[in-house]
Copies of this chain bind each other. A is one copy, B any other.
Amino acid sequence: MDLKVLRNLSYGVYLVTALDGMRPCGCVANSIMQISSRPATVAVSINKENYTHSLISRHGYFAVTLLAQDTDPGLIGTFGFQSARTANKFDGLDFTFEEGAPVPANVGCGWFSCQVTGSYDAGTHTVFFARVTDGAPRPGEPMTYSYYHKVIKGKSPKAAPTYQPEEEPAPAGKVWKCGICGYIYEGDTPFEQLPDSYTCPLCRQPKTVFKAE
């Protein structure tokens, strides 16, 4: 059995957002799909260790923002590689309340709000089934998971259903890799000559968390 075949499944990249009281929280997800059209129903797989998982389980409401190719990859760093237990991921982000969930304003190529109608225990993850209660497209090309990996050079958080260790062979020669999110620096300026103010474009952690491999 060669599970690398599962890497050829196609996904988008999404923010799944929910409320902790009045505090907006959220995480990154890729395993989201429509499962019926009348009424519009979706399924979302969320790792049980994600703080957002506990919010959805408790309240039954969440929203999905569909990231676009031109979405700031820093949002993926903030929402995908930090925890709402220690970070306010919406800091500096405009958002609205939509049907019981926070929705970042002007981000990505659309959003929809959801009310949970059921769930399935998949071991490490829960699949939530939800009726779509509102939503609207925004202009933009959807960011696919493949685009995120190949063009943005992003990695999968360990909590992702699709996470597999050692996703790619190490490139030949010395490379500088973010110790938080795995981003590999590929700029023209030698990494050592970057200013101390350099931060990872994906997860916004400082230059000091990069390691040479």
Contact = CB atoms under 8 A, between A and B. Distances in A.
B8 A10 contact: no
A9 B9 contact: no
Interface stretch (A19-27, A73-81, A104-112, A186-194): A104-112
A35 B125 contact: yes
Given A9-B33, A12-B9, A34-B161, A39 B144 contact: no
Contacts of A34: 6, 9, 31, 45, 161-162
A12 B146 CA distance: 11
A136 B5 contact: yes
Interface stretch (A49-57, A127-135, A196-204): A127-135
Interface in A70-88: none
Interface stretch (A89-97, A115-123, A175-183, A205-213): A115-123
Contacts of A3: 40, 132, 135
A92 B141 CA distance: 38
Given A2-B136, A3-B135, A135-B2, A164 B41 contact: no
A123 B45 contact: no
A153 interface: no
A180 B123 CA distance: 42
Interface of A: 1-12, 30-43, 45, 66, 109-112, 118, 120, 122-125, 127, 129, 132-137, 142, 144-146, 160-164
